[in-house]
Amino acid sequence: MTLIPVDEPVAEPVSIPILEENVRTQLKALFDTDKALVKPQYFSEISERADFMKK
């Protein structure tokens, strides 16, 4: 196999923010027996935690 050089720019390093504190949260979601479906009553709590993790 022969490698052919490509004149594409190399990506610049990305700065990743580091949290200054540890964060802990607890989510208690109950499931029906033998089911893996998340009940609608837990959607808002799950969404709040997902929004936090996206920050």
What span, in angstroms and rounded, lies between the C-alpha atoms of 26 and 42?
A: 13
What's the mean pLDDT when you consider all of the chain?
86
- What per-residue confidence (pLDDT) applies to 55? 76
- What per-residue confidence (pLDDT) applies to 15? 84
Instruction: State the residue for tokens 């004149």.
Output: 7
> Strands (DSSP E) along 1-55, which ranges?
none
Task: Name, in order, each residue with C-beta under 8 angstroms of 46's C-beta and a sequence gap of 6 or more.
Answer: 27, 29, 38
Does this model's pTM top 0.85? Answer: no
- What per-residue confidence (pLDDT) applies to 50? 92
- What per-residue confidence (pLDDT) applies to 33? 96
Express each pLDDT in 13-38 by its tens digit.
Answer: 888 777 788 888 899 999 999 999 99
